[in-house]
Amino acid sequence: MTQLAEILFSNTPPIAWPQLLTLHCSQKNTQIKQVTYCQGQFNISAQERQVMSKNNNNESNSHYLTLIGPTIASDALLNLLSALSQLQVSAQSSGDIIIYPPATYSLENSPLTHDASADTQASTQGDIVVLGLTKLSVKLRQQFNDTLASWSNDYHIDYALSQTLPSLKQPGVVLMDMDSTTIQIECIDEIAKLAGVGEQVAAVTAKAMNGELDFSESLRSRVATLANCPEAVLTQVADAMPLMPGLELLIATLHQANWKVAIASGGFTYFADRLQADLGFDAVYANELEIVDGILTGKVIGSIVDAQVKADTLQALALQYQIAPQQTVAIGDGANDLIMLKSAALGVAIHAKPIVQQQAQVALNHHDLEGLVGLLHAADCVEASWC
């Protein structure tokens, strides 16, 4: 097996590994149930072993490592396997690295045709590789994370190290922040620019998103600067909202899988309602600006949708739609999304502020929202067969 790895694996993209292994083993009448990597060697097993082992306290100390990228080359994956295996040896961990059959995911919202050229397919599909990491101690997990962060930057591949994998084959729910997550702007900053107080408001927004200010208090102070702004400005901003790339693909993927997708935003219903009408979100929750005779009063009606409200909304949606806890996903970018991200089975930060990247379970830095599509297909790899 080592010779096969040296000759073929290093020159073949991971997505082709199942075919290579099936061809290799069919000649020897060997059924492939599992492929593992340990200390520089690939090993084929006719028996499958579950990754989610338990420690003495009946707690899982095993994880799934999902890698997603427009292309995952063999040399990149082999370098990572080698680095992680060396860390295991240094930590005197006996755990193998389980390699699941790789897969692909869509990079854009257009179906592939069977007669499409290889170049076209390569541009519309990304690669998924899922590794099972057994016996991962807290210390070893931190060392893995440090190695993964460096490797991710070198190869521009995003990763998720998690103990569960939500599956599109079961109902689920995704709750999303709006500003700088479903859309590429902060709506209040855009309103403020047109109202002539752009720099003043943007500075406060930045501090709030970095967790330097109380969100509710900062929002009310920013909205106060918009007093006497005409409603037509809101319409102008709503008409020009740039969607986050991958948003339409994500929504289509979720609805096709019978998932629910909603917005919980510290922004405003004026924009969330427009997105729901245009794109089909199942629900939206946001703050309501007070408008009298077509003019903003500088006030917010009712209570503020803050960090805790977002987290509570995720739990309420799961209860409403009878979604299992392991099928809940949240995605956001600011400090006021952290509680929501931590309350989800899979909490994903996208192009996030430093404090969020440090605390979130998963951070997408090289993808837009198509990256979440890739992560949600990771469970398919675990459920797939090598044969």
Q: What is the pLDDT of residues 217-238, one digit of tens each?
A: 889 999 999 999 999 999 999 9
Predicted local distance difference test score (pLDDT) of residue 7? 65
According to DSSP, the residues that pair with 354 across neighbouring strands are none
Mean model confidence pLDDT for the chain: 89
Is residue 189 flagged as an active site residue?
Answer: no
For residue 79, pLDDT over 90 is answered with yes
With CA atoms as reference, report the closest residue to 66 among 384, 333, 337, 379: 379
Q: Pull the structure tokens for residue 66.
A: 């999902």
For residue 89, pLDDT over 90 is answered with no
The DSSP secondary-structure symbol of 337 reads G
pLDDT higher at 164 or 10: 164
Collect contacts of 252-258 with beta carbons under 8 A, ≥24 apart.
252/109, 253/106, 253/168, 253/373, 253/376, 254/168, 254/172, 254/174, 254/376, 255/280, 257/168, 257/169, 257/172, 258/171
Choosing from 96, 158, 177, 282, the catalytic residue is 177
Collect contacts of 83-92 with beta carbons under 8 A, ≥24 apart.
83/147, 83/151, 84/131, 84/133, 84/144, 84/147, 85/37, 85/38, 85/39, 85/40, 87/140, 87/143, 87/144, 87/147, 88/38, 88/140, 89/39, 91/137, 91/139, 91/140, 91/143
Virtual torsion, Cα 311, 317, 318, 319, nearest 10 deg: 110
Predicted local distance difference test score (pLDDT) of residue 51? 58
Residue located via tokens 């969330």 = 272
Average pLDDT, integer, range 77-86? 94
Choosing from 127, 158, 179, 337, the catalytic residue is 179
The pTM score is 0.90
Predicted local distance difference test score (pLDDT) of residue 118? 43
pLDDT band at residue 113 using 50, 70 and 90 as cut-offs: very low
CA–CA gap between residue 309 and residue 330 (Å, rounded): 13
Predicted local distance difference test score (pLDDT) of residue 112? 35
pLDDT band at residue 116 using 50, 70 and 90 as cut-offs: very low
Angle at 245 between CA 240 and CA 246, to 5 degrees: 130
Chain-centre distance for alpha carbon 17: 25
Q: Cβ(187)–Cβ(268) under 8 Å?
A: yes
Is residue 179 flagged as an active site residue?
Answer: yes
pLDDT higher at 319 or 213: 319
With CA atoms as reference, report the closest residue to 68 among 101, 110, 19, 104: 104
Average pLDDT, integer, range 5-20? 80
Chain-centre distance for alpha carbon 278: 23
